[in-house]
Amino acid sequence: MNVNTSNQVSAGVDAYFARELLERPLPYYVYAMFADLKPLQSKMSGTVRFRRFTSLSPATTALTEGVTPDGSLMAKTDTTAAVSQYGDFLYLSDYLRATSLENIVNESQDLLLDQMGQTLNRLARTVLIAGDNVQYASTAASTATIAAGMILNSEELAEAVLTLVNGDAKPITKQINPGSGFNSSPVPMAFVLFASPATVRDLSKDSNWIGVAEYGSQEKLGPWEVGTILAAGYAVRVITTGSDASTESSTVTVHKSVLIGQYAYAMVEIDELSVEMIHQPATDPLKQRESFGWKLATVFKRQAEYAIVRIEHAVS
């Protein structure tokens, strides 16, 4: 048993922890920011079914007077996703609490909150970089054939944007806001690109790049938005992934950027098992340890393949 936790904590500390649980993970919530929220009611199974109906073909055949046409048939595609629980905790001993600096509780909370944000980020990233809708930079035909100099620029992005638009993907108009209890907030219409810091460096040299310092009255989508690049007549808001970039070793280090549109993927939560702060006062016979932790039940799911393109490329 790993014990590094402490004595009883006041209700005020518990309230602070609960508030921080919503506010602090924001910088680490990059990949999950634009998920389509799908609450799952309790006692309704731990599996959610996603259903998408195929668009009806245009009715271009003129009607014949007095003749009822056959009409159309609806076609659907169903996929499912099972919710899983995630969480962790820290024990703090009474001796540690009594002999260390007073902020040991805050330090442990910060570690847990950062861990929760990184966990959600990694779960979302794993889902987003999967799938077969992939574009290889320049003349490359596979990951293995990507060579030095095949970087991501506005021309490559324009090709990816056209893939989304030709698939009837729509620009994003809302994002998840952890600071408001993981509810959605409206945002200006644009496609969104998740890119590594090295990729951002390349994009920032492009003539179609607009840095956040030039936004004026336009609000950033969050602390990790770094700019906008114009591609195929559309605005692409660029979110840096920080240290959680997706790369793969090949002839060169291949970076995997992800371009998404609205409703590309979903985040499912069971309402009674949503993000929860857990503080357990010392209950052992000698009251030597208490615990702080977090727990949630969720799953991320790709729900619109036509709205996600993974771009594999090199960096300069």
Query: Which pLDDT tens digit goes with each residue over 84-139?
Result: 999 999 998 888 877 775 678 888 888 888 898 889 899 999 999 998 999 999 99
Q: Is residue 183 part of a domain?
A: yes
- By the 10 Å C-beta count (0-12 exposed, 13-18 middle, 19+ buried), 167 is classed as middle
What's the pLDDT band for 183 if we cut at 50, 70, 90?
Answer: low
Whether residue 18 has pLDDT greater than 70: no
Segment holding 185, helix H or strand E: strand 183-195
Whether residue 269 has pLDDT greater than 50: yes
Q: Is residue 60 part of a domain?
A: no
Q: Is residue 124 part of a domain?
A: yes
Report pTM: 0.80
Dihedral, CA of residue 129, residue 131, residue 136 and residue 141, to nearest 10: 140
Confidence (pLDDT) at 25: 46
Q: Is residue 257 part of a domain?
A: yes
Query: Which pLDDT tens digit goes with each residue over 137-161?
Result: 999 999 999 999 999 999 999 999 9
Structural domain boundaries enclosing 138? 11-54+77-313
* Cα–Cα distance measured from residue 284 to residue 305, given in angstroms and rounded to the nearest whole number: 51
Whether residue 309 has pLDDT greater than 80: yes
Query: Which pLDDT tens digit goes with each residue over 48-80?
Result: 777 777 778 889 899 999 999 889 888 877 777
Whether residue 297 has pLDDT greater than 70: yes
Q: Is residue 154 part of a domain?
A: yes
The CATH number linked to 182 is 3.90.1690
Q: Is residue 81 part of a domain?
A: yes
* Listed range (22-36, 83-97, 249-263, 283-297) with the worst mean pLDDT: 22-36
Q: Is residue 284 part of a domain?
A: yes
Q: Is residue 200 part of a domain?
A: yes
Paired with 166 in beta bridges are none
Q: Residue 256 has which token pair?
A: 């995997």
How large is the C-alpha radius of gyration of the chain? 24
Whether residue 13 has pLDDT greater than 50: no
Q: Are 85 and 274 in contact (CB under 8 A)?
A: no
Domain count, the chain: 1
Confidence (pLDDT) at 229: 95
